[in-house]
Amino acid sequence: MSEALKDGPRMLPYVSAITEGVRQVLEEQDNAFVAGEDVGQAGSVFGYYQGLLAEFGDRRIVDTPISEKGIIGLGVGAAATGCRPIIDIMFMDFLGECMDEVANQMAKMRFMFGGGATLPVTVLTMAGAGMNLAAQHSQSWEAFLAHLPGVKVLMPSNAYDAKGMIIAAARDDNPVFVVMNKMSLAMQAEVPAEMYEVPIGKAAVVREGSAFSIFAMGRMVHEALAAAKTLESLGVDCEVVDVRSIQPFDSETAVASIKKTHRALVVHEAVRFGGFGGEIVAQLQEEAFDYLDAPIARVGAPFSPVPYSPALEKLYIPNAERIVAEVKKVLGI
């Protein structure tokens, strides 16, 4: 079991772990600042910048207009010229407003310039469904981002990772997206007070097992753990791997797990078709084909936008039950 999921003396909710990570980065790096919509006075609509304006002032906690193109552009331009911006895109869905700045500018600038530009910019954004916020406030677009050479993409499933990933992202000299989950904000984990990094490009085995590997992303890690518990009672010993780093992807840990279990399932909240799970499956069949005893199963959202109605949203979001059902199907039990 990882540090993150153990009971410990210093428990913090995910939301406060974000605050702490950002605060420590601002203390460490003089040229770091936060910019985004309602990050200052309001402390973010999710509350994770509460208190930072009072602590750091409006030079370093910058409230912006509702202008996502401008906000990401600000991050790119400032990063290229000596700052280390932490850019806030309130809901991941709003990346639609600034996809050019992300995909054609931020992601490619260094390469196009022949290595001439360095972009130490961090983007914090909130993904996920579950709050009846409908089709434009609930999406998980990490696969879009992971498809862009030039950016890194992290998905913290817990408070420990949230803080450590923000610090790792801010210290990295590349554009890094930290894709957080709005349903996890109150979730507690042990979070050390000191600064630490969760290494970029490293998955975490959050439950060891011998018979089946479940590769889960973001909030689905907790559903996978719940599924593993149910499956344990059915005599199936599951390993759960928190993918954590989407880009770069830690295929080494994934392959090692497969070599042990020979069977696997991938699960994410994003739409199944074209989701990041497909990439994991492809890499595993390339690198560990001989170790696989069954096709790798995939669990994700159905091929529709996120529905508003609680009745439909419940059916839409992948959960432990669906993971269990798919695992049973693979095993024929």
Partner 1 sequence: MAKNITNKTLIDLHSCMVRIRRFEEEAGKLMEDGKIPGALHLYVGQEAVAAGVMAHLSNKDQITSTHRGHGHVIAKGGQFAPMFAELYGKSTGYCKGKGGSMHISNMALGILGANGIVGGGPPIAMGAAFSNKFRKTKQVAVTFFGDGASNEGSFHEAANMAALYQLPCVFVCENNGFGEYTRQTNHQAVTDVADRAAGYGMPGVVVDGMDVMAVYEAAEAAIKRARAGDGPTLLECKTYRYYDHVGVRGMGLTYRTDEEVDAWKQRDAINSFETLLVKQGVLTAKKIENVYARANDEIKEGVAFAESSPFPTAEDLLEDVYFVGAGS
Ligand X SMILES: Cc1ncc(C[n+]2csc(CCOP(=O)(O)OP(=O)(O)O)c2C)c(N)n1
Backbone angles phi, psi at 11, to 5 degrees: -90, 135
Edge-to-edge strands, sheet with 176-181:
61-63, 32-36, 84-89, 122-127, 176-181, 152-154, 245-247
**Three-state secondary structure call for residue 236:** coil
Write the single-letter amino acid at 68.
E
Q: Is 147 in the site for partner 1 (CB under 8 A)?
A: no
Among 47, 50, 64, 94, binds ligand X (CB under 6 A): 94
Set 137, 147, 262, 268: catalytic member: 137
Non-local (6+) Cβ contacts of 287 within 8 A are 251, 255
268 is known as an active-site residue: no
Residues 33-72 as x/- pattern, contact with ligand X by CB under 6 A: ----x----------------------------x-x----
Distances (CA, A) of 154 to 208, 221, 317: 22, 14, 20
Q: Which two tokens stand for residue 47?
A: 């509350």
Beta bridge partners of 264: 213
The 10 Å CB-count burial string (b at 16+, else e) for 234-271 is eebebbbbbbbbbbebbbebbbbbbebbbbbbbbbbbb
**Site for partner 1 contains 59 (CB under 8 A):** no
Confirm or reject binding of residue 135 to ligand X (CB under 6 A). Answer: no
Pairwise CA distance, residues 286 & 280, whole Å? 10
| Residue 325 engages ligand X in binding (rule: CB under 6 A) | no
Interface map 244-283 toward partner 1 (x if CB under 8 A): ----------------------------------------
Q: How far is the CB of 110 from partner 1 (least distance, A)?
A: 25
Nearest residue relative to ligand X (C-beta): 94
The answer to the question of residue 322 lying near partner 1 (CB under 8 A) is no
Nearer to partner 1, 242 or 313 (CB): 313
Per CB under 8 A, does 66 bind partner 1?
yes
* Nearer to ligand X among residue 68 and residue 239 (C-beta): 68
Residue 69 binding: pick among partner 1, ligand X, none (C-beta 5-8 Å cut-off by kind): partner 1
CA–CA separation, 263 and 6 (whole Å): 26
**Which residues bind to ligand X, rule: CB under 6 A?**
37, 66, 68, 90, 94, 97
**Which residues bind to partner 1, rule: CB under 8 A?**
37-38, 41-42, 45, 47, 63-70, 93-94, 96-97, 131-137, 302-305, 307-312, 315-316
- Residues involved in catalysis: 137
